[in-house]
Every structure is written in C-alpha cells, then in structure tokens.
Structure 1
C-alpha cells in the first residue's frame, strides 16, 4: 500500500465513529457565566501558578526547585502557542472571513484578563529567580554571570569564544525599505541593534539590524571560574559590533517572539496526510506572533520598533528582568553533580517480579501496573517478547506520543521484518510531536508494518495494544490498555496505569475497536469498553445520573470519585451540579484546568475539587461510581473535556477483577488523604495547600503510592483465602 492510499484509508470508518446512542442533555449556561464556570484559560494559568509554588517551596531541594521554575516557562510557551493564540485570533477575528462568531463576543475581555494574569505570573517567576534561586545557586558554586560582572579575563576568553565559535555562523540582517523585517523563528532569541555610521560624510541616518542567536547550548563556562557561566545571547550581544565594521552600536535589545502553533490543514482534502502535515510544520515557525518578550534593560527605541514590526499591541509585550526563556535552567541544573540538592532517585519496583514468560503470567490473572512506581520496562519487555516469540501472529497498537529513541517502536520494526502482521495507528496530529511521529511512521512502513495515520476529523488518543498469539489451546488475544502514552521517557515522570489482560470479552472489544479504526466495521455492543466519541459520554452521564437517583432514593448514598487531568466539559459540569443537589458526595482529583465551581451552596456544596502537583506529573485517569453497592470502576485515556468525549477516539475499560479494583481504590484513597502536595479548590477558584492538622499524620500520596507499588506482590487475602471486597472512602471519613 502506498502512502497516498494509506492517507485515504485514514478516513474510512470516520462516520462510524459518530455517536449512535443519544442522551437528553441538561441545559448549560453560557460559557462566560462566571456564577457557574471558571474560564478554562485562567484555570490553566492557575495550574501553572501551582507549578510555580513548587519552585518557591523552600522545603524542596534546590535543583528540583530550579527545574520547576523551568517547567513554568515550558508550560507557558505551550499555553501561549495554543490557548492564547486562539483567544488572540478570536479577539482580532483573524481567519474567520470577518464573520462574527459566538466565541468572539467575550474574546477581547478574556484576552485582557489572560494578558494580565500572564504578566503577574511572569513577574513572580522572575522574582523567584532573582531573589531566591539565583542567589542560592551562587552559594552552591553555580551562577549565571551577566556582562556587567565579567572581568578582564572573562571578556578576553568570551571574545575568543565569540570569534571562533559564534561569529562564523552568525548572519547580520539589516532592516530597511529594501530589506523588510525578516521572519524571526518561533521562540528563538534575537539581538536587535541600532547602528550609526562612523563615516562623517554618510548621508543615511540611523540603521537597524537583527542577529539571531544560535540555537542549542546556551551556557558557556568562564575560564578559571568553575561553575560560573555566561549565556550565549549575552556573548552575542556584547560582541555583536564585530559584525558591523564601520558602524557604532547605539542601542541593543534582546527579544523573543512566540507564535501561533496551530497547523492549518484541511484533512478532508488532503491526498497525502503525512506530507501535508510535514509541509505545514515549517509554517509553525512563521505563524502569527502573539507574544513579544523583551529584555528589561533593552533599548527603549528598539522595543517600540519591534512591537510595531511584529504587529502586536503594547499589552502583548512582556519586559523580562532576567534571562529570556528560563528553560535554560534545565541544562543548568543538570550541570551540578550534587545529589544532596536533588530528590532521592525513585527506584521503581519490577512488577511482576516473574516476567520471563509474560504471556503465561497474563493468562494467570489480570495485572495492573502503576507507573512510575512500578517500572514501565515491563510493558517494553512485553512488546519486545512479542516481536521475538514465534507463536505471536500479529500486533496491533495505537501510538500518540512516543520517544525519539523508542524501544517499543524498534521492537515493532523487528516484528514486521520477522513476518508478523504489525498494524499501527500513528496519530500524526499529536500536537508538537508531529515530526517524531512522521519519522517513525516512515521507518515502520519501510520495515513492512501496516501504518494508518488516524481518522479524518478525529484524533486517536486511546492507548491500546493487542497481541494475537497461537497458544496451546488456540489463538488468544492479549491486551494492554493504558492511561498514558507508549513513551518510555515520560513514563518515568508521569503517573499512569497499565491494564494487562487475556480476558476474552476485553479482547473482543479491543479487536472490534481496531477493526473500526482500520477498516469498515459497525460498532459492537461493547462488553467492557466504552469508546469515545461513540458511547463514552453517554456512559458517564448514565453513571452520574444513576448516583443521583440512588441518592434521592436512599437519602444520600450516592458517591463519585474521579481522577483525571482537566474538567472543562460544560455538559458534565451540569450533570455533576445536578448530582450534588441530589445529595451525591463527589470528589474530583483534577491536576490542571477545572471550570467547575465547587462548594457553592445550592449548586455544588457536595463537590470537592483538589489538585496534586508535585514531583511527578499526575496523568492517570480513574473513574469510580458507587452504583448502590455494585461499583463501576475503571481507567481511561480521556479527561472530562469536550475534545476527549466528542472529537477524539478514546477508551474506558471497566475493571472487574476484585484485587485490581482494590488497588484502584487504594490509589484514589491515597490521593484523597494527601495533605502535603494536595491543594483544595475554593468556590472562588483559588487553591489552598492542604496541611496536616495538629497531631495528625503527614500523608504524601507520592510516598504512600511508592510503598503500595512495592507491596503488590504480597497477596491481598482474607482469612478464607479470597481477595476481600473493597469499601470506598466516604467524604469525611
């Protein structure tokens, strides 16, 4: 199959993913009704403020705090490229042919609100750097030295570095009527200069020019000063006059532009989706500017000129008193060989301990792995074993984000070369991972795998792996269903769950979903799965309404606990409000955005929202509904977001194994008991860190779950040898 036919195949079956089952929706208020919903954008910035609080926490090791400060910048870059860019476009009505859209009515006010919050966040971030972290790092022998503090020896050595390492690759770009303002790369650092001719007879007045700072390593060690560093952009700025002989520099200004990161692709018209996305990736570097960061000590005239040149409002200009782009703190913190300034390494448990015959182990009973407390290497091992096992006939897998050196992808290539039927659905539209996915798609095609690029109009976000093996008693399906990506790198940093099973009902469901993704197939009557956009929303609504009915009937026995990343779906917010008013006790553990207002009398007084931000990125999705003593509990790839439920292919799997249900409840209980890293959301949208009450026990979900992960091999049994049924925690217990 050639690439164009595969791109067309990516569109087949799309109509079959239209929701077949309808529900009567509850009425929703206007999205900007602040009595019921918070702004998703402001809520996201509140999450990044919680990350900043980790950098400000003096109880944390210094280098961990430094990394958190870098994460704030990395997060904010993505927010600006995605969310701010969208609001910016709505407010300025770009790309809509001048037509008035419903979303544009509030966009100017929202844009102003976002700009103000970003300004406050960045000011606090850099204050943390200047007044706290930078001085503490200097005390430990690591410092970024600004040009005004360079000594004579420093200047001499740095000038030599400029002459030998930088000057040969720098290109001065003049700007005048014959040389228009160039397209400056997205998130790149650039030095702007004002120039005055040294020729007294020159008739041309002031000139302006730009010099792009080379990407890559920004840190240069000062000679004879171990641990003392200079920034490459400072070196370029200090010696940039060498690029303009015959001119005197009258002003300098370091700046950074952030652009709209959206890709403009009409999937329905694309004959070759891979090539279309590949071509569009280069345009991302030249999208509409939405933010201009300027060094606070930059030349005032250049600041005004740059703002005009990139066509931004004054409110889109952010003066920065410190290094532009604090992601430079990632490599800086890595330079220090100081274990005493870091958290102790997390030593993951190898579970199951016996894994020499993984298929035998999975046949014995279902398994639940909690990463990174339990090593992700077991999942990698499973795929590698499948690639080598002569009994394995076929492997099918969905892939959303994978690492650039993924051992899973290499194993799949070996499996294809060995003649196994390898079918992969690689989502080329995974934002900011498109290039990596394109490279792997091509490599896997060359190895002989069948590669499908996704579905037109839908992103495939489900985390599914199915291995078809000829066992002694016939062909059997082995399935892995996860909450996180098949990414060996992020699996060390994100909390996620892996469900491994040879259950026939699960196997039938997963096989049916793969058939829908790759061919012509109607959706089945699902036995253990709920799939978006087909049935997942309907199931969640049914389960929430079921709890409300039980609460009304039994006087408050309804119970919902859900752990996920974002709560931004209005329809489910309204369902939860109605359930709260019926007396259902609801706990939501939401790491990031949450538009729902908890604790409002008469609306949501029975809803509690908490967020856990700490050493690991909380990424697992767990859903629990008490169901009058017959609980529904499962894991999913989806958050409670409209995009997950309506515009993506997602998977929820109900967990029926009693021991695994107990484990999921233990995870939820640990999160609800956390009084170290957890913050509770108030009705006004602010978050308060929970602290142990006087004489109460300090409970960290990280510590508790690390211990839980190491203890799983010990059997959970009653005196009669049976796994006990779990009893969920009730609010207030």
Structure 2
C-alpha cells in the first residue's frame, strides 16, 4: 500500500477511543450477569478512570487549546474539535453512570439494603441522623465566606465541597456565598439499629444547612440554598528540567506546584442555578464549558466502604454478590528455599494471577537470606504499600548484600509513595537510583547474583507487570525466570546505564529496549513477516497490549494487512487503529476483553509458515513507551513455553462472552448478547478454574 493511500481518517482519535474503553467497563457495571457488588465496584472504577484521564489527557487538550494550537491529530481533529467532542461524550458518560447507580440502588433495595433519602426517613431515623450531625458532623465543618474578588481559598483536588447562597439578615437583596468542605468522615452513615440501612452525609448536611449558617455566623446571614460541587485540577507533571541533577528533588517540587494547578473540571448538583454556576466558574477560573451537572448521588468513592459493610454483615449471604473465588496454581518448586536450583535447571513461565505470585515474592525473600547471594538488581515502577519485596531488599542490604534498586519516582500518582520507598531503602543501605528527568524506566526486571566458591551464577526475572503482589491478584501478567547468561548479561548492561556508568546500549544479546531499539525491532519483525508472506509462507501477526496508538507501528501493520498478512490485535483499552478498511486494513482485526481481571500482559507474536517468533514486553504500543521510556522486550525461545503463550492468546481471541469487536467506524460491539452469553464461560473464568485444578 502506497503511503498516499493512508488518509488521516484511517486513524481514530485517541481520547474518543479511551472513552469508548471506559464505556466497556460501564457495561460490566450494567450487566445482570455480573455479581452485584462487583458491578458496584466497576462503576467506581469508571469514575476513578475518568478522573485520572481528565486530569492528564483532557488537561493537555485544554492547554493546547489555550495556547492556540490548531494542529490536527492523525484522525484529522484539531485540539478544539477534540475538546468539544470529549465534553459531549463525558456528559453522556456521567449521565450513564448515574443511571447505572440508580439501577444498582434498586438491586440493593431488593436485598434489603437501602440508601435512604433524608426526606423519607422515619422520625426515629431522623432523630438518629440529627444527633449524628450535632455531635460529629457539625464540629468538623469549617465554613468560609467567599470573597467577591479573586483569589479564592485553595481547594483540594477531587474533594467535595458545598456552596451556600445566603443573604444578609439586614439587607436581603445582598447575596453572599460561603463554602465548606465535606468533612473527612465516612460518607455513609449506617443507622444504629438497622444494619442494612444507610444515608450519605451530604443528605444530612443539606437538611441542616440553614442551622449551619445560623450557628456559624451567629444570625448575620440567612441561608437560601446549598449545592454540592467537586473540582479536578491539571495534575500532569510535564517534563522535568533536563539539566536537573536530582530527579527526586525535581519531582517533589513538581508535586508541590501541582497542588496549585488550574481547575479544569467542575461537577455540581444538577439543580444549581446559573448565578451559582457563574460565581463558581468565575472564582475558580474554570471554563463554563468544562462544567458538568449531575443529578442524584454522585462521586462514587463511598462504594468501596458500602461493599465492605455489606460483605462483613453476617445477616446477608454475600457469596453470590461477589465473583466466585479461585485458588491460584502454586509451583511448589519455586516457593521454597530451593528456588535458585530449580531456575538453574530450566526456564519458567508464570501466568498471573492463574499462577501464584508467591514464587516471585519468594525469589527476593530467598535472595535476602541465602548466604551465597552477593548482589540483587531490580527496577520498581509501582509496588504495594507494605511490599514484601521492598522489605526483602532492605533485609538483603542489612545482611551485607549489595542491592541495586531503581525506583521510578515519576510513576504517575505514585510519585510520593515511590519517594518514600527510595528514602526507606537508602536508610537500609540499598543503592537507590531514580532514573533521569526526561526518561521514565518502565521495565520490569531483576537479577540475583550467587557466588559459590569460584562459580558465579546469575538468575534473571523479566515480567510484563509490576512488582506488586496485590495487583498481581487482579492483573493478568507474565513472569519469566531464566539462568541463561545472555539474558543476565543484558540486564547488567542496562543497569550500568541506570547507574550512570555507561551509555544506553545500542545492541544487546537477547533483550530489546526502548527508546533506541524497540521501535525498529518491531518494524523489522513486521517487514520480515510481510516478506515471508509474499514468498508463499502464510503469515500472521498477533499483538496483545493495553493500549495501541503509535502511528508509525500502526502504519506498518496497515502495510502488512494490504499485503495479505492477517493481523490479530487484542487491545484492552484505547487503540487509534481502525480495522477492516478497504485497501488499508482489510486483514486487520481488533478485539477487546474486559472482565473481572485487568488484561495487562503484552505479547508480540510473528507467525511465518509453521513457525513463530514470540516476545513478551513491559511496553504498550504508544509513543511514550517507544520514545520516552526504558522498556524491555524479551524473546521466549523455549518451544513449550512459546506454544503455551500462543495457546493462551488463541483461546483469548476466541472468547465470546467478555469480548468486543471493533468495527470499521471505530465503534465496538459485543461478540455475543448477554442472553446467549449464558451458554459460555468467560475465558478468564476458564483459566481460573483450570489453575485451581492444577492444569
């Protein structure tokens, strides 16, 4: 296919594609096939997803529009056009969230679990709520008069506030506004004698707002109305100064500046009048177009506490309200003190969470106490709050081993947590590195060095997912253990760069890294596949990742499709590629799986004739991964392990109950209706059952 045939509209807008992905998660919240508490959790996830996306991606769009940038993206949409379309779709999605929450509340009520409206409380219930207001809520309310002129008091990103419209007691034509933050209490109050009945704090506060104003301002003002609102700020930490000597310090400064970032999103009660909206948008300096009116209950951070209260309630049988629990498959030979001997015998591939993550935790714990271990290397991007792996690294250093730990302090929204980990590990004697101002290190790799007499043994761990034993229970990822020297040597060479001792390697034995090698490697593999197909060897490309928006790689796949190469893209989230376009992507097919587990693994398979080349990676196919991060692509060469990965991919591709197919107009359709889906078991459920049986 000549490049001239590649028109701009052969690519989908990235942000619209992302919103479509969040809609697919909303489908789970709306599905009667999903257990009730899991549906509620999916609803909460869609909000946290939407918040993060808005604070980063929409913030960038707003910045581009404000700067006068009119350059279109590959879909042909200029920033202003994108932003207008995004606003429409966000309003639609917020409305859908609210409708689904109403459905869920009705489902809860059918179980005897009620989230009540203050106006419908019985006298006894009102008395209980009023007492709680007087003793607990009211003392925590810190109300402020809002000045007519800017600036207003600094407000917290993501928190909920009330704005009160008042008039002066002496001159009732004079309007004054006050505001206060929703107190830092659990938003759901459970009624004392009725274990299954709750009320949201904002309901109680709205019922008492006139008393609040009268008490706090000693009768100087009369409260006329009260409305709930919530803001989001531009929370993106853009590129740090390249000449910064201390990345960690630069990130800390950027975090402080982020708190004073501009407001880019204002949500508020749907019944708020225009004068209140005008006051807020002026005071917050937020574009009125970035305001969203929401009816009923909203901001679903109360869902997790609600689900926990219901689960902990002995009066309700919650077994059917959750997904059925399954035990993972345990590789006993990797979960005891002999793990190092086992890895020396052969390579191991683990598919989490179907295979237990205990083997990875054990790898580091044994390294910490084994007297023959002299060195440990690891890259940490995201990890759990009380990580056993981090503790093992600290123990290893205390035991006299040399530990090299890269802590990526630029991991978005984990910056402060990772800085804390870096400080903690330094205090235990670990050699801590925090990457570079303009380059994130997203690779997931580790190395253990063992010295027994004159013999030096090196054991490598490479993964598609983070060193986080908590998310490993709900994210699907691959782990690979090997003692092959070439893999281990490559990891040490990469660490020489991380430690500032060497330049970024341009060639390695087995590993392929971004930003200087990975793109060209994938382009080479695609071109090789095209060549083999033209030579008469039936060829296919199979790619599984979270997101796929890299224009150059998509362009190469379009070329492969036009040459008859069949392409399977299993993309959980956004993708700007469009399938099934005549003369462009006729042989390119896109599926998406959303379900109880988050599909996080990255697989790259290139089939030619009867053989195939198989790679796993930490990288999604996005410009940031290929151009601005250290990412790792590593080959799986053992024939049995390759076949296992391919079979997993093949079965996932054939899934019908959790899968969506992307159409040539950019929309997604479920592969099978909810009614017919009852006949089939979701592929993730199949894998969970098989793992529990030890298959």
In structure 1, what is the Cα distance between the partners aligned to 2:32 and 2:21? 19
**In 1, are the aligned partners of 2:506 and 2:516 still within 8 Å (CA)?**
no
| CA deviation string 1:153-195 (max 9, x = no partner) | 2333223222222222321111124784222211110000011
In structure 2, what is the Cα distance between the partners aligned to 1:219 and 1:245? 29
- After superposition, the Cα gap between the structure-2 partners of 1:43 and 1:265, relative to the gap in structure 1 and judged at 3 Å, is closer
**In 2, are the aligned partners of 1:424 and 1:450 still within 8 Å (CA)?**
yes
Q: 1:61 aligns with which of 31, 35, 51?
A: 35
**Could you tell me which residue of structure 1 aligns to residue 20 of structure 2?**
46
Q: 2:117 aligns with which of 134, 146, 163?
A: 146
In structure 2, what is the Cα distance between the partners aligned to 1:587 and 1:112? 32
- After superposition, the Cα gap between the structure-2 partners of 1:616 and 1:696, relative to the gap in structure 1 and judged at 3 Å, is closer
**In 2, are the aligned partners of 1:403 and 1:489 still within 8 Å (CA)?**
yes
In structure 2, what is the Cα distance between the partners aligned to 1:660 and 1:590? 22
Instruction: For residue 622 of structure 1, report the CA deviation from its aligned partner.
Output: 0.7
Given the alignment of the two structures, is residue 416 of structure 1 paired with residue 389 of structure 2, yes or no? no
**Could you tell me which residue of structure 1 aligns to residue 322 of structure 2?**
342
| CA deviation string 1:523-578 (max 9, x = no partner) | 16322111111211111000011111111121x61111111011100001110000
**In 2, are the aligned partners of 1:69 and 1:125 still within 8 Å (CA)?**
yes
Q: 2:78 aligns with which of 88, 103, 106?
A: 106
**Could you tell me which residue of structure 2 aligns to residue 587 of structure 1?**
568
Instruction: For residue 262 of structure 1, report the CA deviation from its aligned partner.
Output: 1.1
Given the alignment of the two structures, is residue 676 of structure 1 paired with residue 657 of structure 2, yes or no? yes
Q: 1:297 aligns with which of 271, 274, 279?
A: 271
Aligned pairs (5 A) from 1:5-404 = 35-93=9-67, 106-130=78-102, 132-177=103-148, 180-198=151-169, 200=170, 202=171, 205-215=174-184, 217-240=186-209, 241-242=211-212, 243-246=216-219, 247-264=221-238, 266-337=240-311, 338-353=318-333, 355-356=335-336, 357-404=338-385
Instruction: For residue 272 of structure 1, report the CA deviation from its aligned partner.
Output: 3.0
| CA deviation string 1:336-394 (max 9, x = no partner) | 12122111113111124553211011111110111111111211111111111111101
**Could you tell me which residue of structure 2 aligns to residue 611 of structure 1?**
592
Give the match's secondary structure for 1:336: helix
Instruction: For residue 428 of structure 1, report the CA deviation from its aligned partner.
Output: 0.5
In structure 1, what is the Cα distance between the partners aligned to 2:364 and 2:549? 35
Instruction: For residue 637 of structure 1, report the CA deviation from its aligned partner.
Output: 0.1
- After superposition, the Cα gap between the structure-2 partners of 1:220 and 1:423, relative to the gap in structure 1 and judged at 3 Å, is same
- After superposition, the Cα gap between the structure-2 partners of 1:262 and 1:524, relative to the gap in structure 1 and judged at 3 Å, is closer
After superposing the two structures, state which structure 1 stretch, 138-147 or 545-554, moved more: 138-147
Q: 1:540 aligns with which of 519, 522, 525?
A: 522
Give the match's secondary structure for 1:67: helix
Count of paired positions: 679
**Could you tell me which residue of structure 2 aligns to residue 689 of structure 1?**
670
Which runs of 5 or more structure 2 residues have no equivalent in the other structure?
312-317
In structure 1, what is the Cα distance between the partners aligned to 2:565 and 2:32? 39
**In 1, are the aligned partners of 2:329 and 2:693 still within 8 Å (CA)?**
no
Instruction: For residue 590 of structure 1, report the CA deviation from its aligned partner.
Output: 0.3
Instruction: For residue 295 of structure 1, report the CA deviation from its aligned partner.
Output: 1.3
Instruction: For residue 660 of structure 1, report the CA deviation from its aligned partner.
Output: 1.0
Instruction: For residue 710 of structure 1, report the CA deviation from its aligned partner.
Output: 4.9
**In 2, are the aligned partners of 1:484 and 1:497 still within 8 Å (CA)?**
yes
- After superposition, the Cα gap between the structure-2 partners of 1:679 and 1:177, relative to the gap in structure 1 and judged at 3 Å, is closer
| CA deviation string 1:186-240 (max 9, x = no partner) | 1110000011233x4x598221101111235211112333221121233333323
Given the alignment of the two structures, is residue 650 of structure 1 paired with residue 631 of structure 2, yes or no? yes
Given the alignment of the two structures, is residue 562 of structure 1 paired with residue 543 of structure 2, yes or no? yes
- After superposition, the Cα gap between the structure-2 partners of 1:449 and 1:404, relative to the gap in structure 1 and judged at 3 Å, is same
Which aligned segments of 4 or more residues in structure 1 are displaced greater than 6 angstroms? 98-105, 692-697
- After superposition, the Cα gap between the structure-2 partners of 1:245 and 1:345, relative to the gap in structure 1 and judged at 3 Å, is farther
In structure 2, what is the Cα distance between the partners aligned to 1:684 and 1:288? 36
**Could you tell me which residue of structure 2 aligns to residue 553 of structure 1?**
535
In structure 2, what is the Cα distance between the partners aligned to 1:487 and 1:185? 29
**Could you tell me which residue of structure 2 aligns to residue 9 of structure 1?**
none
**In 2, are the aligned partners of 1:28 and 1:571 still within 8 Å (CA)?**
no
| CA deviation string 1:474-512 (max 9, x = no partner) | 111111100001111111110011001111111111111
**Could you tell me which residue of structure 1 aligns to residue 687 of structure 2?**
705
Q: 1:429 aligns with which of 410, 422, 427?
A: 410
Instruction: For residue 284 of structure 1, report the CA deviation from its aligned partner.
Output: 2.5
After superposing the two structures, state which structure 1 stretch, 145-154 or 180-189, moved more: 145-154
Give the match's secondary structure for 1:111: helix
Which runs of 5 or more structure 1 residues have no equivalent in the other structure?
1-24, 715-733
Give the match's secondary structure for 1:466: strand
- After superposition, the Cα gap between the structure-2 partners of 1:102 and 1:561, relative to the gap in structure 1 and judged at 3 Å, is closer
In structure 2, what is the Cα distance between the partners aligned to 1:423 and 1:301? 58
- After superposition, the Cα gap between the structure-2 partners of 1:66 and 1:372, relative to the gap in structure 1 and judged at 3 Å, is same
**In 2, are the aligned partners of 1:670 and 1:705 still within 8 Å (CA)?**
no
**Could you tell me which residue of structure 2 aligns to residue 499 of structure 1?**
480
- After superposition, the Cα gap between the structure-2 partners of 1:467 and 1:216, relative to the gap in structure 1 and judged at 3 Å, is farther
| CA deviation string 1:627-662 (max 9, x = no partner) | 444421010000111111111000011011122112
Instruction: For residue 308 of structure 1, report the CA deviation from its aligned partner.
Output: 2.4
- After superposition, the Cα gap between the structure-2 partners of 1:455 and 1:29, relative to the gap in structure 1 and judged at 3 Å, is farther
In structure 1, what is the Cα distance between the partners aligned to 2:87 and 2:454? 64
In structure 2, what is the Cα distance between the partners aligned to 1:451 and 1:158? 52
- After superposition, the Cα gap between the structure-2 partners of 1:695 and 1:417, relative to the gap in structure 1 and judged at 3 Å, is closer
**In 1, are the aligned partners of 2:463 and 2:617 still within 8 Å (CA)?**
yes
Instruction: For residue 709 of structure 1, report the CA deviation from its aligned partner.
Output: 3.7
- After superposition, the Cα gap between the structure-2 partners of 1:137 and 1:710, relative to the gap in structure 1 and judged at 3 Å, is closer
After superposing the two structures, state which structure 1 stretch, 645-654 or 242-251, moved more: 242-251
Aligned pairs (5 A) from 1:425-464 = 425-464=406-445
**Could you tell me which residue of structure 1 aligns to residue 314 of structure 2?**
none
In structure 1, what is the Cα distance between the partners aligned to 2:395 and 2:2? 51
**In 2, are the aligned partners of 1:676 and 1:690 still within 8 Å (CA)?**
yes
**In 2, are the aligned partners of 1:670 and 1:704 still within 8 Å (CA)?**
no
TM-score, structure 2 normalization:
0.93
After superposing the two structures, state which structure 1 stretch, 332-341 or 369-378, moved more: 332-341
In structure 2, what is the Cα distance between the partners aligned to 1:695 and 1:215? 43
**In 2, are the aligned partners of 1:374 and 1:710 still within 8 Å (CA)?**
no
Given the alignment of the two structures, is residue 510 of structure 1 paired with residue 491 of structure 2, yes or no? yes
Instruction: For residue 699 of structure 1, report the CA deviation from its aligned partner.
Output: 5.0
| CA deviation string 1:140-164 (max 9, x = no partner) | 1222222222333233322322222
In structure 2, what is the Cα distance between the partners aligned to 1:458 and 1:220? 46
**In 2, are the aligned partners of 1:26 and 1:575 still within 8 Å (CA)?**
no
